[in-house]
Amino acid sequence: MPVVIDRARSRDRIAHDVLTLTEPQYTSSSTAICRYAYTPEYRRTADYFAARLRELGFEVWEDAVGNLVGQNVPRGERVYGLGSHCDSNRNGGPWDGPLGVAVALEVCRLSGEHGLDLPLRVISFLEEEGSGFGQMLLGSRIAAGRITDEELRDGLRAIDDGRPFVEHAREAGYRPQEWRSCSETLDDLDGWIETHIEQGRVLQDEGTTLGIVEAIAGYVHADVHLDGRAGHAGATPMIGRADALATAAEIILEAERLAVQAGHATVATVGELDVEPGLINVVPGAVRLSLDTRGVREDAFRGVASALESFAQEAARRRGVAARYVQRTAVAPTPMDAGILAALQESADAAGITHRRMASGAAHDTMCVAGRAPSAMVFVPCRDGISHAPEEDSDPADAALAAEVVLNALVRLRATAPS
Ligand code: GLV
Ligand code: MN
Ligand code: MN
């Protein structure tokens, strides 16, 4: 028999948790949610969740870089893991991340209230968005060992002040030199489920309540640096210019064309553009543009990245510009675990909650957890698919249904687990 929950009570508790974190002490901006690793707003947010977990009797700690962990059984025992992240995008809304931690917390409350005594660990990963240090999934990548000493020491600098990650981490009281010990954050997991807003509009448009995520898109993140020749905008003839920005314009349009041509829902985005000297009356001498290309077909999005690199060289040569392509990160697509997917689906069916299988176009910490434990995700609709924007909105009533489905999926998994 499925566990029947008081949905209105769960809705109100999840809404309270997520909306409390929109108050001024939890964000550094009055127009968006902004909180990045090792800032006071982030500290207060992690403390909020830590306090709620302690109220439930969980032991709470942080690993050597600051991933927050709470557990209701002694360390070393097998557990089911739940959670997400509570940092935000630089143009963030209330729900991306905190929803998953709030749903995890709600499942912990429900497990206690219904006398289920599930062995649970909640994780809120550090710096999922890359808003503090420019690389996504940082806390979960560190825990999964998907980083090198060199990257941590030399490759990561704070976007706001250019100082190294390790310096910020030490100042905040952490031990980044011991980052390998963070692997313990992912020890002993019999399963992992992250709940998240969909960040698209498929569920809303179809009128389906929950998404059960069967694969997460992989991605390539890279930069193209173009060095041309600055000159007087009035006195330099059109023939013979080495305009770095005109070259970038060709590359941006080619990225769009290549993604459409690649098919399989492959996407490509140029979201960052630095122009030097950036003056109305000067031919642009240097440009840096970013590339984000993703999909669930690795050959397709990697093909976009490599074709764009060749195109950039060719376009630059034609225009007398030098091009340099530098990859930041490449992450493979991640399939989810069939057993957890089935448990989620059966639980949703038993509760009469509509659902569909889907892929996630966005990246999630679950990509890193999946290398260590059977993993899956649940998506909750978000209004008009808007995310990474202050207007991001979601219905806590749907989040309560996600909590109910996750709770029942864990009960099923435990009932069928080999003893
Ligand atoms: C994570 O927020 C992403 O951009 O996929
Ligand atoms: Mn997120
Ligand atoms: Mn995000």
Q: Residues 186-206: pLDDT tens digits?
A: 999 999 999 999 999 999 999
Q: Is the CB of 367 under 6 A from ligand 1?
A: no
98 CA from centroid of ligand 2 (Å)? 8
286 CA from centroid of ligand 3 (Å)? 30
Nearest ligand, CA of residue 92? 3
**Helices marked H in 352-395:** 366-369
Average pLDDT, stretch 304-322?
98
Nearby residues of 47 by Cβ (< 8 Å), 6 or more positions away? none
Nearest ligand, CA of residue 125? 2
Q: Which of 197, 365, 388 to mutate to test the pocket of ligand 1 (most atoms within 8 A of CB)?
A: 388
CA distance 374 to 366: 10
SS3 88: coil
User: Which of these, 277, 282, 283, 273, lies nearest to 223 by C-alpha position?
Assistant: 273
Question: For residue 231, is pLDDT > 80?
Answer: yes
Q: What percent of the chain has pLDDT over 90?
A: 98
Using alpha carbons, list the distances in angstroms from residue 69 to 86, 121, 176, 218, 244: 12, 7, 17, 26, 47
**Identity of residue 239:** I
86 CA from centroid of ligand 3 (Å)? 10
Average pLDDT, stretch 291-298?
97
**Identity of residue 307:** A
User: What integer pLDDT is reported at residue 418 of this predicted model?
Assistant: 79
CA distance 96 to 380: 11
Q: Is the CB of 365 under 6 A from ligand 1?
A: no
**Identity of residue 257:** R
Question: For residue 404, is pLDDT > 80?
Answer: yes
- Which structure tokens are listed for 403? 């909590």
238 CA from centroid of ligand 1 (Å)? 40
Average pLDDT, stretch 44-52?
98
User: What integer pLDDT is reported at residue 155 of this predicted model?
Assistant: 85
Does 277 sit behind a cis peptide bond, omega within 30 degrees of 0 on the bond before it?
A: yes
- Which residues fall inside 5 Å of ion ligand 3, going by CB? 96
pLDDT tens digits along 157-174: 999 999 999 999 999 999
User: What integer pLDDT is reported at residue 1 of this predicted model?
Assistant: 82
Cβ atoms 361, 267 nearer than 8 A: yes
User: What integer pLDDT is reported at residue 31 of this predicted model?
Assistant: 96
Q: Is the CB of 363 under 6 A from ligand 1?
A: yes
Q: Is the CB of 254 under 6 A from ligand 1?
A: no
User: What integer pLDDT is reported at residue 138 of this predicted model?
Assistant: 97
Torsion over CA: 137, 374, 144, 186 (sign): positive
Would you list the DSSP string of 24-40?
GGG-S-SSSB---TTSH
227 CA from centroid of ligand 3 (Å)? 32
Q: Which class is 218-331 in CATH?
A: alpha beta
pLDDT tens digits along 362-389: 999 999 999 999 999 999 999 999 999 9
Cβ atoms 131, 36 nearer than 8 A: yes
User: What integer pLDDT is reported at residue 341 of this predicted model?
Assistant: 98
Average pLDDT, stretch 283-306?
98
Question: For residue 26, is pLDDT > 90?
Answer: yes
Q: What is the DSSP letter of 248?
A: H
165 CA from centroid of ligand 1 (Å)? 20
- Which structure tokens are listed for 187? 């020890």
Confidence of residue 417 (pLDDT cuts 50, 70, 90): confident
Nearest ligand, CA of residue 84? 2
In 2-66, beta strands by DSSP E: 59-62
Residue intervals in the chain for CATH 3.40.630.10: 7-216+333-416
Mean per-residue pLDDT over the chain, rounded: 97
SS3 389: coil
**Helices marked H in 173-243:** 202-206
Residue 214, burial from CB neighbour count under 10 angstroms (0-12, 13-18, 19+): middle
Ramachandran bin of 352, using left for φ above 0, alpha for ψ from -120 to 50, beta for the remaining angles: left
Q: Is the CB of 136 under 6 A from ligand 1?
A: yes
Nearby residues of 160 by Cβ (< 8 Å), 6 or more positions away? 36, 132
Average pLDDT, stretch 228-234?
98
363 CA from centroid of ligand 1 (Å)? 5
Residue intervals in the chain for CATH 3.30.70.360: 218-331
Instruction: Give the CATH number of domain 7-216+333-416; options: 3.50.50.60, 3.40.50.720, 3.30.390.50, 3.40.630.10.
Output: 3.40.630.10
Q: Is the CB of 129 under 6 A from ligand 1?
A: yes
Q: Is the CB of 321 under 6 A from ligand 1?
A: no
Question: For residue 410, is pLDDT > 80?
Answer: yes
pLDDT tens digits along 50-107: 999 999 999 999 999 999 999 999 999 999 999 999 999 999 999 999 999 999 999 9
Cβ atoms 176, 337 nearer than 8 A: no
Helix (H) or strand (E) holding 383: none
- Which structure tokens are listed for 62? 């942080």
pLDDT tens digits along 246-273: 999 999 999 999 999 999 999 999 999 9
- Which structure tokens are listed for 231? 């000159």
Confidence of residue 177 (pLDDT cuts 50, 70, 90): very high
Give counts: helices (H), strands (E), the chain: 12, 16
CA distance 241 to 235: 11
User: Residue of the nearest CA to atom 2 in ligand 1?
Assistant: 129
Confidence of residue 333 (pLDDT cuts 50, 70, 90): very high
User: Residue of the nearest CA to atom 1 in ligand 1?
Assistant: 363
